Amino acid sequence: MNAKGQAAVTDALFFLMVIISLSIFLFGFSTTYGESVKQQVQDEFNVTFATNALKTILYSSTSRDFDKTIYDPNAEVDYLLALVKEDYADDEKMNDREKVVLSDTIFAVLKPIADSTDYIFTITVPSGSSPKLVYMLVHTTNFKKDGPFLPGRYYRYTVDPANAHADYFCGNDVNYRGNLDIKINQLLVNVGPISESSSPIKLSVFGPDGAPGTVNAQADLIMWDPVWLGSTRDRTSGLLYETDPMDPYNEWGCVSVADVKSGASP
């Protein structure tokens, strides 16, 4: 009888072992269930947002009077892209006022996600013998880097809520082809997953004989979750700045949007 009792206990222990194994498998499966689908849904939302944002920016109207908005009943309203084309046609670059007008619309359209997303908006003339950066707006989180407080420990990154973001117009007076375009690509491959939307547009130009024409250009909106773009222990050179997000590398040719707005920029 004792032997019979031991056999029953052994069987029960085996049963318990099988149950525990199954339970561990089931629990593990349930905790990861839907993770990939959830990520895909989030990616879909991000891409849809980027696409909609770019379309909305390019479709939008704006006031021709820079001190008025489209909601002002006395404002002379035109398409934002028309204003950009007109300005570009003058001297094949964008002036500060038009840059500010375009940035106001970009900031307004992207405001719902501005706190949780960094982004770059560019207008480029990609083809032809001299690819050109016409416009570049960078919105990045103004991280402060502290520490490490103990040797070998990690740095601490914080954000001052009162001055949470750094916004620049970049690509001013710098060589785009073979220099800035490489830096932009280097930044984008290092910031993690990005949501990107592109749209072909046409910019107006005047030929050597003064005849009006158009040139193919491209508007891009690229968004990513905020990350530190400065130097790290493993990355001795920063992606956009060294240690201070308000002080980007000179190679980027950046000026603060606030400075341009206040007229302090050269």
Partner 1 sequence: MLAKGFIGPIGDDIPSLIPLLLGLVIFFSTFTTAFNSFDRINTEFDSDLAVMNITRIMQSNSYVVGYDEYKRHCDEIGVVNSSFIAVLTDNWVNESTALPDAQSIFDIKIFEDSENHLYTCSNLSSSGAPEFISDYLSAENAAERKVSSRVFPIALEDEKIVKPMHLVVITWR
Write out the residues near partner 1 by the rule CB under 8 A.
1-2, 4-5, 8-9, 11-13, 15-16, 18-20, 22-23, 26-27, 29-31, 33-34, 37-38, 41, 44-45, 48-49, 51-53, 55-57, 59-61, 69-71, 77, 79, 105, 108-113
Q: How far apart are CA 207 and CA 213, in angstroms?
A: 7
Tell me how far, at minimum, the Cβ of 49 lies from partner 1, in Å.
6
**Which of 1/211 has CB closer to partner 1?**
1
What is the token pair recorded at 245? 């997000």
**Which of 35/209 has CB closer to partner 1?**
35
Taking every pair of Cα atoms in the chain, the longest distance, rounded to a whole number of angstroms, is 111
Tell me how far, at minimum, the Cβ of 184 lies from partner 1, in Å.
23
**Which of 70/174 has CB closer to partner 1?**
70
**Which of 15/155 has CB closer to partner 1?**
15
Tell me how far, at minimum, the Cβ of 109 lies from partner 1, in Å.
5
Tell me how far, at minimum, the Cβ of 21 lies from partner 1, in Å.
11
Tell me how far, at minimum, the Cβ of 225 lies from partner 1, in Å.
17
Cis peptide before 148, with omega less than 30 degrees from 0?
A: yes
Tell me how far, at minimum, the Cβ of 52 lies from partner 1, in Å.
5
**Which of 109/222 has CB closer to partner 1?**
109
Tell me how far, at minimum, the Cβ of 26 lies from partner 1, in Å.
5
**Which of 39/175 has CB closer to partner 1?**
39
SS3 for the chain is CHHHHHHHHHHHHHHHHHHHHHHHHHHHHHHHCCHHHHHHHHHHHHHHHHHHHHHHHHHCEEECCCCCCCCCCCCCEEEHHHHHHHHHHHHCCCCHHHHHHHHHHHHHHCHHHCCCCEEEEEEEECCCCCCEEEEEEEEEECEEEECCCCCCCCCEEEECHHHCEEEEECCCCCCHHHHHHHHHHHHHHHCCCEEEEEEEEEEEEECCCCCEEEEEEEEEEEEECCCCCCCCCCCCCCCCECCCCCCECHHHCCEEHHHHHHCCCC
